[in-house]
Amino acid sequence: MAKLIGIPASPGVAIGRVLPVDRRRARVPRYHVQPEQIDPEIARLDKAVKESVEQLQQIRKSLGEGEQGDILDAHRMMADDPTLLEGARQLIRDELLNAEWAMRRMVRDVSEKLGSEGYLAERRADLDEVCDRIVHNLIGEQPLPAALPADDSVIVAYDLATADAAVLLSSGKIRGLVTDFGSKTSHTAILARALEVPCVVGAGQASEIAKSGDVIAVDGHSGEVLISPDREEILRFEMARAEAKFREAALLEERELPAVTTDGRRVYLQANIEFPEEVASVLAHGGEGVGLYRTEFLYLNREELPTEEEHYRSYAAILKQMAPKPVVIRTLDLGGDKLPIGHRSHEPNPALGLRAIRFTLRHPQLFRTQIRALLRASVHGELHIMLPMIAAVGELREARKQIEAIKAELAGEGVPIAEKIPVGIMLETPAAALAADRLARECDFFSIGTNDLIQYSLAIDRGNRDVAYLYRPLHLGVLRLIQAAVDGARQAGIECAMCGEMAGDPAYALVLLALGIDTLSMNPSDIPPVKRVLRTANLADAKKMLEAAMAFSSHDEIERYVLEEMKKRFPQLISDAGRAAGERGL
């Protein structure tokens, strides 16, 4: 048996048989044509481009509405692009290149301008794929996989062409997908999420190790891939799959129902997203809004800063799809280790450095671009703006002042914006939690970022495995900070949400209910189990449990007590799996 760990890109568990799919790059014949062959050569090129466009239109038609269709539209537009075609024709005319060579040269020149990393590199992969299709058509090869997959197929590929992924995944026969290469932002990963096919990308040498027909097990939640697993391992995956199915059943039953306890306390359940494409999954899992959109993903993995238009398009798309549900868009949490390509940080201590709101206030131009786009998009839905890592009232005042100035600027330009746009802050430092009563007077809502709050209060680098065992959400100090944040919000009459990973763990749901959190925001697939806990819970009972838990002094004692109590109440929902110290919340 071989075990690989890749990047979990689409949740769910799949067990099936390996279907290897090659990224079949076309071999490009290279030769010079005679001057008198120029016209027929150009005609050959035009014909292949036309065929490619028609094929892409056909595939597009079979896909229906949604993300997968949009990607194919983009491919068709690339194939149909007059600049590309004219450039290739020119090479045939001027340099007497054959059509295949001319097309490949033209695409290579355009690709080089796009760079080799990040978002534009993915567009480059799209362009390569379109070029491959045209070359396949020129040399008379069939560009799509000929055989239809069997019902239990798990695709294993070095990398999967988007159009091939779209056709294969939407056949309804693919149980899972594993690629050696790729990232969570690749189009193939986005497609897998949109089509709800469990997927692991960046799994190293899967395509070299796995042979056609081998049994393979894929866990899209943990990133685990087992090739030719033994019976015991298959059983473990089957149990995980049954558990996932149970979650799915809960989802279908309770998706439209509110998270309200048996004694009437209503908690709102929202979702965290990094990409606009995840909105469908938010709605499918019953998300009552987006509680955190991490906009820094617009900036990462690319060389150029996103334009105001790009910001606007992302925000408008999310707001429209979610309307009338609220969408909390967090302004840039850049800085420290999260920087666009080419903007390396040389800070000795990035987590304590120029990050989040500090970074933004130091670069008002970046903030302005983002806020202009946000305000313009506000007419499309229920926008809430959230400022990350506010540690001092002064930062909040300065950010709000800049937002007001930009509002006035847009009003001067006659640009309409929503009448009411709440501005809230993330509480992520102990100082902010302890000063919550004052901060609450000057903003419209709080959201507690436990990932950072725990890191800063317990002095644990959230990315450092060596101290992961000390990362304890139920540390008495952390619970008291959460309590202080909620108290501060209550005094000022504003809402207090939580959007760190702690919010999505069903084992902590009663503790957070008792602490008085109004809204929990989490990964979309965590919503159903948390909702189930809350709908069967009782606030009075949760409060008693919290009181008993906080009477203990050590985090071990608190954790043991809470887990035991939760397992007693929800034996099917709370397990010890993945609960080794530090495995959650990092």
List active site positions: 187, 499
Integer Cα distance of 138 and 132 in angstroms:
10
Cα-only R_g, the chain = 26
Interface stretch with ligand PEP, choices 79-87, 156-164, 226-234, 446-454 (CB under 6 A): 446-454
- Give the span between the Cα atoms of 385 and 406, in whole angstroms: 14
Nearer Cβ to Mg ion (52/521)? 521
Determine, following the binding rule CB under 5 A, whether residue 335 of this chain makes contact with Mg ion: no
Cβ within 8 Å of residue 432, ≥6 positions away: 390, 391, 392, 425, 439, 485
Least gap, CB of 500 to ligand PEP (angstroms): 3
Measure the N-to-C terminal CA separation of the chain; round to a whole number of Å: 29
Interacting partner of 500 out of Mg ion, ligand PEP, none (Cβ under 5 to 8 A depending on kind): ligand PEP
Give the pair of three-digit tokens for residue 456.
């800063």
Contact 79, 133 (CB under 8 A): yes
Binding ligand PEP by CB under 6 A: which of 449, 504, 529, 582? 449
Binding flag, residue 129, ligand PEP (CB under 6 A): no
For residue 505, state whether it binds ligand PEP (rule: CB under 6 A). Answer: no
How many Å apart are CA 485 and CA 509, to the nearest integer? 17
Amino acid identity at 409 = E
The neighbouring-strand residues paired with 539 are none
Cβ proximity to ligand PEP: between 202 and 449 the closer is: 449
Interface with ligand PEP includes 136 (CB under 6 A)?
A: no
Q: What are phi and psi of 267, to 5 degrees?
A: -120, 140
Select 120 or 328, whichever has its Cβ closest to Mg ion: 328
> Which stretches does DSSP call E strand in 6-96?
7-10, 13-20
Q: Is 278 in the site for Mg ion (CB under 5 A)?
A: no
Which region among 346-354, 444-452, 469-477, 571-579 touches Mg ion (by CB under 5 A)? 444-452
Identity of the amino acid at 152: D
Instruction: Please state the three-class secondary structure of 492-511 as a single string.
Output: HCCEEEECCHHHHCHHHHHH
Q: Which of 178, 499, 520, 562 binds ligand PEP (CB under 6 A)?
A: 499
Q: x/- string (CB under 6 A) for ligand PEP, residues 289-328?
A: ---x-x----------------------------------
Nearer to ligand PEP, 143 or 287 (CB): 287
Tokens of 395: 């930062």
Residues in 74-103 that interact with ligand PEP by CB under 6 A = none
Query: What DSSP assignment string belongs to 87-131?
Result: HHHHHHHHH-B-HHHHHHHHHHHHHHHH-SSHHHHHHHHHHHHHH
- Applying CB under 6 A, the span of 176-184, 443-451, 506-514, 542-550 interacting with ligand PEP comes to 443-451
The answer to whether residue 67 forms part of the interface with ligand PEP (CB under 6 A) is no
Q: Is the N-terminal amide bond of 20 cis, ω within 30° of 0?
A: no
**Of residues 180, 219, 333, 518, which one binds ligand PEP by CB under 6 A?**
333
Q: Residue numbers of the site for Mg ion (CB under 5 A)?
A: 428, 449, 452
Interaction site with ligand PEP (CB under 6 A): 292, 294, 333, 428, 449-452, 499-500
